[in-house]
């Protein structure tokens, strides 16, 4: 895991990820310190992640449609990346930021979101997976979606 943290620290040294609580306090995640601040990454996914034809290409297309210059954020009321500012979706694949805490808005800049999506696949997850931080309350997910 240390080698992975070092690789990610080097790869993402110029990007940043944020978790912004609704009470105006900001939890900043500096990706150059990812070894200390990322809780986990895993390949947990729906069964469709391994059985949907062309899902890998759908995920590539979704990542390529991310705008590197805007900040994507979790949206509890509308978590679907195709109709919110959470991320991007193509075919049956979404790459997006999510939160398990309704009092917390998690934010990721588009260029970082794409790099995290690539990291998930480059580290053993065939199509889908997630990267968590902020006590596992925030996640970048690369996931199967029934409809985009």
Q: How many domains does the chain have?
A: 1
Residues with pLDDT less than 70, the chain: 1-39, 76-84
Tell me the CB-side half-sphere exposure of residue 18, using CA atoms within 13 A.
Answer: 15
Q: What is the pLDDT of residue 1?
A: 41
Interior angle at CA 123, CA 127 and CA 53, nearest 5: 15
Residues 6+ apart with CB under 8 A from 108: 17, 18, 71, 72, 73, 97, 116, 140
- Quick: pLDDT tens for 53-80: 999 999 999 999 999 988 888 875 665 6
pTM: 0.73
Q: How far is CA 87 from CA 83, 105, 106, in A?
A: 9, 14, 12
Domain that holds residue 56: 2-144
| CATH code of 75's domain | 3.30.430.10
Q: What is the pLDDT of residue 79?
A: 57
């Amino acid at each position: 895991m240390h080698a992975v943290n070092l690789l990610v620290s080097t790869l993402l040294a110029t990007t940043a990820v944020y978790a912004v609580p609704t009470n105006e306090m900001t939890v900043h995640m500096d990706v150059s310190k990812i070894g200390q601040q990322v809780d986990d990454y895993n390949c947990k996914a729906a069964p469709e992640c391994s059985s949907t034809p062309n899902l890998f290409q759908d995920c590539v297309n979704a990542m390529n449609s991310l705008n590197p210059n805007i900040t994507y954020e979790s949206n509890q009321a509308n978590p679907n990346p195709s109709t919110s500012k959470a991320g991007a979706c193509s075919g049956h694949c979404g790459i997006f930021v999510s939160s398990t805490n309704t009092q917390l808005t998690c934010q990721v800049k588009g260029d970082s979101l794409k790099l995290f999506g690539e990291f998930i696949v480059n580290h053993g997850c065939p199509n889908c997976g997630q990267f968590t931080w902020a006590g596992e309350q925030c996640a970048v997910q690369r996931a199967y979606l029934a409809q985009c």
